[in-house]
Amino acid sequence: MVGSAAGAGAGLCIHQVTLMESCDFRQSTECLARNNVAGTAVWRAKLEEIGVGQAARLLADAGVRAVSLCAGGLLTEPGAAASRAALDDNRRWLDAAAAIGAATMVTLTGGLPNGSRDLEAARQRAKERLAQLLPHARAAGVRLALEPLHPMVCGYRSVISSLREANDWIDDIGAGDELGIALDSYAVWWEAGLAAEIARAGARIVNFHCADWLADTADVRLDRGMPGDGLIDNRGIWRMVKETGFAGPIEVEIFSARNWWKRDPDEVVGIVKERVAEIA
């Protein structure tokens, strides 16, 4: 291992999306390395800009581990052709995740198809297609990390909104450990009974994402706060996740068009490290 994995950031993962507008793939990898941050979650659009081979080399050279690939899934479009296309895309993305050494692929159900109001049908399609991806995930050695998102983005991003639903789906599908859960504090901090659902999820939790919910949020998707600046008890949620036996890193995932994306990446990473030290 390269020395950059040592130090205060060794148990930390900062998603590429946190440096979305200041860094391309190479710049964000180098920024994390020089700040001793051991892991990143690779953003699919950034991966597609440079290709899997170059991405794997950049990560290896920098000593930065790809914790996961974000995001696959998007499984709700109706029709046989759309189903085939979505499954083919996801199989390619799973192979890409394996090629960069990512243990998981964060998987979103997708939202309600254009013109549709049939939420239950969209959920049913997503669940069935998720089940159909399991053999390929197993073969690729990459776990699908199903991520419920906040109900405000149900329309266009995720037709499941709670950890309870994610647990129910995995029970229904009857999956093995090729299907887990990405728990994002920003998505589920509001959920009644969250502690019980975290305990129920147990070893299913394969990724822990955090950000903060700003009291004056201007955009529920693109105005995430830095942990410590908002309403989420990240420290308490992290403690519950740790109690399940979770051994992965804290992953900081901040979509922030009006603030953090505009700042110098080294400054952002420095502040992330300070804030995570207060959670862990």
Contacts to Zn ion by CB under 5 A = 184, 209, 253
Between 4 and 183, name the residue whose CB sits nearer to Zn ion: 183
Q: Least distance (Å) from Zn ion to the CB of residue 13?
A: 11
Start-to-end C-alpha separation, the chain = 24
Q: Least distance (Å) from Zn ion to the CB of residue 15?
A: 8
144 membership: H or E segment, kind and range: strand 143-146
Between 44 and 209, name the residue whose CB sits nearer to Zn ion: 209
Where helices occur in the chain by DSSP H, the ranges are 25-34, 44-50, 52-62, 80-99, 119-140, 163-173, 185-188, 194-201, 234-243, 265-279
Between 4 and 238, name the residue whose CB sits nearer to Zn ion: 238
Inter-residue contact 47 to 69 (CB < 8 Å): yes
Rg over CA atoms, the chain: 18
Between 212 and 253, name the residue whose CB sits nearer to Zn ion: 253
Q: Least distance (Å) from Zn ion to the CB of residue 145?
A: 9
Q: Least distance (Å) from Zn ion to the CB of residue 45?
A: 15
Rounded Cα distance between 52 and 96, Å, is: 6
Q: Least distance (Å) from Zn ion to the CB of residue 182?
A: 6
Between 13 and 31, name the residue whose CB sits nearer to Zn ion: 13
- DSSP state letters, 215-255: TT-S-TTTBPBPTTSSS--HHHHHHHHHHTT--S-EEE---
Q: Least distance (Å) from Zn ion to the CB of residue 210?
A: 9
Between 184 and 197, name the residue whose CB sits nearer to Zn ion: 184
Strand partners, 66: 40
Paired tokens of 3: 């020395």
Inter-residue contact 41 to 279 (CB < 8 Å): no
